[in-house]
Structure 1
């Protein structure tokens, strides 16, 4: 991983800032909602107490039968077609039946649906009616009460017979319709609203159950929507809040207000994106909108169920309008320890989502702004640091490419930070290495100069010994001494020559030439010197114009050719290749012959290094200056020299970039 990537990773750690801000906004939103919920719970508690204090017509404690309003008259035919809109709120009646009650301006309607797999039939007037399938209907109005026996031996019209003595205005019989299907029977009848019934009871008795009490009925008070209680709620309800009173069975008894949001400028209303952000990232415990928002007769909500258990409860839901929420608070209404219902307050609002969204967006904008600034600063810092490190690296590589000598001043030595300390340490190190390298470069010329006088003394001494007339047995030793002096003299001359070549190469002048013509001319001249060896050339069709020294290039090729011929068999091959590169050109001379030892490939171009066999007495020694000259020529052209093994031979390559152009004063 690069330094820039590491600093970018560090910059990404600043993402913890928007995450922390998001958590803070969520906590803030939770606190705002808790505060609003506590305020609405306090309002619901105050309203519940007020309803008790003003003696409002609250529903009675305990279970009751709820009478639902009907918009159209119901036909009494024993079938449930007219009751279909009310069937979702049918009230259970024992284990096998359900009851529905409805009312209009004139009548109270009753519908009993009984599920029975086995049937025993008898008319109400039959003495066996109490042992057959029958219903016991009980009605009460004030102090008057009456029970009726309802049974039928066949589907169709039937009459419910009174079981008790005459009870005031209550009728002595009820006309009904009895219908049957494969799973049971249905009973439908109606009573005038003028009876002012306040209690109703019904008992389902099936002969198959063996009921020991065939005259019992489940008596409960009758409840319906109360306009008087609704009017009382309208006086007590806070503004902008819908208030509903629910009976202990969950039936809607009264209602005041609507879920209407206050008028708000269109520009301040949250859009779909803000609403999505609020619901996805900020809001917690937010239920979806459902039947709670509709005018249904029975309200079955979690907060209402908890309130019916005697525990105040709140809930948050998504509002009908985009970007709104609804807070519901349910408070039980108790009188002398008995539960008489629940007060349900519902308050729509855009304030909490709007405040949370504004805080979140503001915080996110600031956080991402800080993140971008921090990332940009770190990126600039990483770029500058990388650039300075690359300058140090390039200076070190230039020093290494130039055999330890610095190419100009070392960079960043005047910097005051840690990189400046590192640059100064490198500068001191390369100054010492450069001085030692310069000493080694001049060592050969110094040694050659210092060794000339001792060699002359030794040589003259050997000449004097030869004239002195030595014994015959000493002649071989004298010859070997002369040969050693000759070899030592050749080494001294070679060292002097190497120093002269370095100075000559450094002083060579360059010109713009076609490098392909130089290589082609050299290759043509080598064919005469190659003997039986084959020379192949691979040159580009287009000229390669470069600023080079033609004499140095030819000298380097001569050294490479001389080296290649000495290792190539008499019938072998040589190949000269010139190829352009993005920054110069490569000249390769390959020859057939033995491979290079792996340990010597890095030292071939050093001075006085040779792979040829040691010379025999009387022959001139191979001093290993040819490839050293090749390296000096390559470096003079801002390039390098390399050697590698190829299939069946060896390849030596000159990597040239051209000589630097000198500026005219």
Structure 2
């Protein structure tokens, strides 16, 4: 590495280790700001979802208000449904669930599997009579009632370890396990019915004719067959099951069931009576709430299919229900438009790549959810409490499994300025979620296209700009060489933008620098040419003056003037030497010769020219294609420079070696080191580090400059640097060499 360019290369090495952050990188960074667009779009869609939810909330409240308006001031819809009771008692006041299918009367209770959670347990809290202290292992039962197509169905799962059937030869029905049904007719008449089978199988009810006296024995004389009420009695491992069917046209608004347990087959006394209510009198019966067909007809007439709607009484019991929450997606579900099937490449890309990514990281598809209120007999919630207080209210809740959000709204039903019930409507947010997902898909697709196109456009734009700047940089680097000379001009760009203006400015600047450098390069020859005439006049005048008889003092001044003229002549000769060499190099002829013989021959001459300086020479046979005279002149300059800076008693080491097709001539001396501030300047014209102690021998620093010119003429390179052991300086000349002949 050349000493003159060592500092520049070190700086370049440091620059390479720094993080480069070019225009394209900056443009890509700016393009990253485009990724904020999906974030803004995502938040916009979320805000849109909030507005849609608010709209859904207002719409659902409006739905409940409309239904409640259709039910206001209609007492016949509530009087028969026990809605005027001040309170209801669980287990005593019964609720008939709306059945989806008819019940097969077989005593198996399989048809009641969907309503297993609604079966109520009857035990010690529902004892009507017990002859002995009650034991829960004697008699308990589970019970539920339902309604389907004009019939009331009842199911009983009775636990009775000692089942006692009616004797076939007995006229009494109360000397065995039996069931008493008490109810009122639609006209308010009180009737009681007894069921006492002889064995497992089909059963019919017998109406009890007792004229209000419940103390008389229940014999066949007091029973009348009621063919409309029938069912099935089936014995089980733990007791027995009973299924009944009662026509709704026989039933009023009060109903009760009571099981009479007989454990002894000998005395057949009644040990325990457990029932839903006391069946002995009408005023002791519990109520039965059957979903109102009239209200159901009103709901169907309104035709609200996008919501699940309940009508409840003031005890929060369901009078009617329509709709399914799984399909109750709200009015927004109808706003989701699906386009026709598209077989384009973009549609396939969306379906196979983009949408799976969206739904994995950003979106979620609506999932089927579970809701326990599907067959609820009683509903509650803050919205219902507020509605029963006379205020419409809406409420958001999670589904039981947390997979969906359900909006519920309630509005009061008025009768004579009193709240008799409420209309409750529920919708899921599946419609809004689906609409949000579709909007998010379209938004993300558009944002992705914008980001890709925008990033690609910015990258291409930055690449074009950076390419133009790099070309301008390369031209600027090639315009001036390491010695500061103008090598070639910069081609101005034609574009009328900032880079074009910069290129034209730099081209004009390089042109002006070239003119100035040309002026400086010719300055020495011009000065030497212009000064030679006055110097010759002064010299001739001094010679003429010295021919006259002068005193000693005058001769001394004339001698000093002649020394100055001689020194000035030497300076002029040195100034023109470089110019002459440049001109001679242009016309010099090259030949192939053994460079090692030239070096050895010159070194013999230097030994005679510098008798007090020791030399060490090592050469290798090397063939060079060049000008021998100029290479000898190159050696003259370098040896003279090394001798001047060598310490006394130390040799100047000259080594000629060859590596592949390059010859290396190394000249080393022991002496002062090169100063750091002179890095990159010693090979320039009129640069010297000499202290100029010898005033009679001027040094203009042209020797190394001439050596550089000769080296470059031979397509080589010259470097000057401090030795690795820091004991002196070494000069390395690399020249292309020829193969051995």
TM-score, length-normalised on structure 1? 0.64
Corresponding residue for residue 88 of structure 2: 64
**Once the 2 structures are TM-superposed, how far is the Cα of residue 270 of structure 1 from its aligned partner?**
10
Stretches of structure 2 lacking an aligned partner (at least 5 in a row): 1-20, 97-102, 109-115, 126-140, 146-152, 160-181, 191-210, 217-257, 262-271, 329-333, 342-349, 608-612
1:189 aligns with 2:274: yes
Find the residue that maps to 1:401 and give its secondary structure.
Answer: coil
**CA displacement 1:110-163 (0-9 Å, x = unmatched):** 99xxxxxxxxxxxxxxxxxxxxxxxxxxx9989999xxxxxxxxxxxxxxxxxx
Corresponding residue for residue 706 of structure 2: 629
1:312 aligns with 2:312: no
**CA displacement 1:423-457 (0-9 Å, x = unmatched):** 22223322222222111111111111112222222
Corresponding residue for residue 164 of structure 2: none
C-alpha distance in 1 between matches for 2:723 and 2:557: 43
Corresponding residue for residue 199 of structure 2: none
Corresponding residue for residue 513 of structure 2: 433
Corresponding residue for residue 58 of structure 2: 38
1:566-605 aligned at under 5 Å gives the runs: 566-569=644-647, 570-571=649-650, 574=653, 591-605=669-683
Corresponding residue for residue 489 of structure 1: 569
C-alpha distance in 1 between matches for 2:597 and 2:282: 127
Find the residue that maps to 1:614 and give its secondary structure.
Answer: coil
Does the 8 A contact of 1:240 with 1:257 survive in 2?
yes
Corresponding residue for residue 448 of structure 1: 528
Corresponding residue for residue 26 of structure 2: 6
Corresponding residue for residue 458 of structure 1: 538
- Identify which range, 386-395 or 342-351, moves more after superposition: 342-351
**Once the 2 structures are TM-superposed, how far is the Cα of residue 288 of structure 1 from its aligned partner?**
10
**CA displacement 1:276-323 (0-9 Å, x = unmatched):** 958986899x9995545643445455654554553321537679999x
C-alpha distance in 1 between matches for 2:406 and 2:630: 92
C-alpha distance in 2 between matches for 1:222 and 1:551: 135
Find the residue that maps to 2:568 and give its secondary structure.
Answer: helix
Does the 8 A contact of 1:241 with 1:346 survive in 2?
yes
Find the residue that maps to 2:69 and give its secondary structure.
Answer: helix
1:563 aligns with 2:641: yes
C-alpha distance in 2 between matches for 1:291 and 1:519: 104
Corresponding residue for residue 49 of structure 1: 69
Corresponding residue for residue 309 of structure 2: 243
C-alpha distance in 1 between matches for 2:284 and 2:581: 131
Does the 8 A contact of 2:721 with 2:730 survive in 1?
yes
C-alpha distance in 2 between matches for 1:289 and 1:369: 35
**Once the 2 structures are TM-superposed, how far is the Cα of residue 494 of structure 1 from its aligned partner?**
1.0
1:168-207 aligned at under 5 Å gives the runs: 189-191=274-276
Stretches of structure 1 lacking an aligned partner (at least 5 in a row): 75-81, 92-99, 112-138, 146-166, 178-186, 201-220, 660-665
**CA displacement 1:257-282 (0-9 Å, x = unmatched):** 32454999999999999699589868
Corresponding residue for residue 133 of structure 1: none
**Once the 2 structures are TM-superposed, how far is the Cα of residue 386 of structure 1 from its aligned partner?**
1.7
Does the 8 A contact of 2:310 with 2:318 survive in 1?
yes
C-alpha distance in 2 between matches for 1:366 and 1:546: 70
Does the 8 A contact of 2:382 with 2:395 survive in 1?
no
Match for 2:461 among 377, 381, 388?
381
1:251-650 aligned at under 5 Å gives the runs: 251-261=317-327, 289=369, 291-292=371-372, 294-301=374-381, 303-304=383-384, 307-308=387-388, 310-315=391-396, 327-347=407-427, 351-401=431-481, 403-505=483-585, 532=614, 559-569=637-647, 570-571=649-650, 574=653, 591-614=669-692, 616=694, 620-633=697-710, 637=715, 643=721, 646-650=724-728
**Once the 2 structures are TM-superposed, how far is the Cα of residue 572 of structure 1 from its aligned partner?**
5.4
C-alpha distance in 1 between matches for 2:319 and 2:631: 111
**Once the 2 structures are TM-superposed, how far is the Cα of residue 528 of structure 1 from its aligned partner?**
9.0
C-alpha distance in 2 between matches for 1:283 and 1:554: 87
The count of residues paired between Structure 1 and Structure 2 equals 554
**Once the 2 structures are TM-superposed, how far is the Cα of residue 43 of structure 1 from its aligned partner?**
2.3
Does the 8 A contact of 1:66 with 1:101 survive in 2?
no
C-alpha distance in 1 between matches for 2:705 and 2:54: 88
Greater relative contact order structure (CA < 8 Å, 6+ sep): 2
**CA displacement 1:517-540 (0-9 Å, x = unmatched):** 969985997699586455789x9x
Structure 1 9/508 Cα, relative in aligned 2: closer, same or farther at 3 Å? farther
**CA displacement 1:219-266 (0-9 Å, x = unmatched):** xx7565636477444555523543233455655454333245499999
**Once the 2 structures are TM-superposed, how far is the Cα of residue 625 of structure 1 from its aligned partner?**
1.4
**Once the 2 structures are TM-superposed, how far is the Cα of residue 349 of structure 1 from its aligned partner?**
7.3
Find the residue that maps to 2:480 and give its secondary structure.
Answer: helix
Does the 8 A contact of 2:355 with 2:441 survive in 1?
no
